[in-house]
Amino acid sequence: MLINNVYIVTGGSSGIGKEIARQLVMNFATVVITGRDSEKLENVAEEINAFYFHADVTNDEEIDALFEYTLSKFGRLDGVVNNAGIADSGPMEEVTRERLKNVFDINVFGAAMMGARAAAHFKKVKAGNIVNIASTAGVKGVKNGTVYSASKFALRGMSQCWQDELRPYNVRVILVNPSEVPTAFGTEDRVEKELQPKKLTPEEISHVVISALKMDSRGFVPELSVFATNPF
């Protein structure tokens, strides 16, 4: 059950993160959404009845402040959803160190630092949940996906390491691999794309996340991939 649980959702002001936060709230959890756009965060938090904290996962001091805020305000933390991420695509001959660093800083390093901070607390209380939102591009590479796929393969590998390390502390690490979902993800203006009848929506992804979290804590789902049945 998620009643009275406290969750942090990064990248929680739009798309998949917003819907996961909404569904957590609907299941009577307390949710703190984070992101880099403070005005958008505030508006979305009010819309879905969540709390918000302005934090950039590329900034370790802001990550520390986020955890300190959550623990001091609510006295507990039951789970972290690492959803913040950015996209990158292009031919392999156009890959640069700068593009790799830009994507890895959020998709990999940001998730790693959030996970490290969460693990420190969860090991103490001997309970907790970490959900990493990766991608089917982290299961099978795709054309022009060198930078993005590499970051999601890295997140997948980290998740497996965390599972092995944290299970003795009753901490569940769940990796979710969405296929294509039309959202603001990957757009420069951060405006949500229109949903398409045959493609996935944030609702399908949030459904599997919530279902996995609601499982009794004696069990967990290590990894889930979600595909549209017939997107063509």
Catalytic residue numbers read 148
Tokens 């609601």 belong to 214
CA atoms lying within 13 Å on the CB side of residue 211? 11
Distance, CA of 197 to CA of 7 (rounded, Å): 30
Name the nearest CA neighbour of 130 among 10, 3, 49.
10
82: number of Cβ within 10 Å: 28
Q: 134 is written with which tokens?
A: 């990766």
Rounded to 10°, the helix 146-166/97-104 angle is: 40
Please answer whether residues 18 and 24 qualify as being in contact, where contact means their C-beta atoms are separated by less than 8 angstroms.
Answer: no
Adjacent-strand bridge partners of 81: 9, 131
Distance, CA of 172 to CA of 141 (rounded, Å): 26
Collapsed DSSP state (helix, strand, coil) of residue 118: helix
What does each C-alpha distance from 160 to 144, 156, 166 come to in angstroms? 26, 6, 10
For the chain, how long is the longest CA-to-CA vector? 50
126: number of Cβ within 10 Å: 10
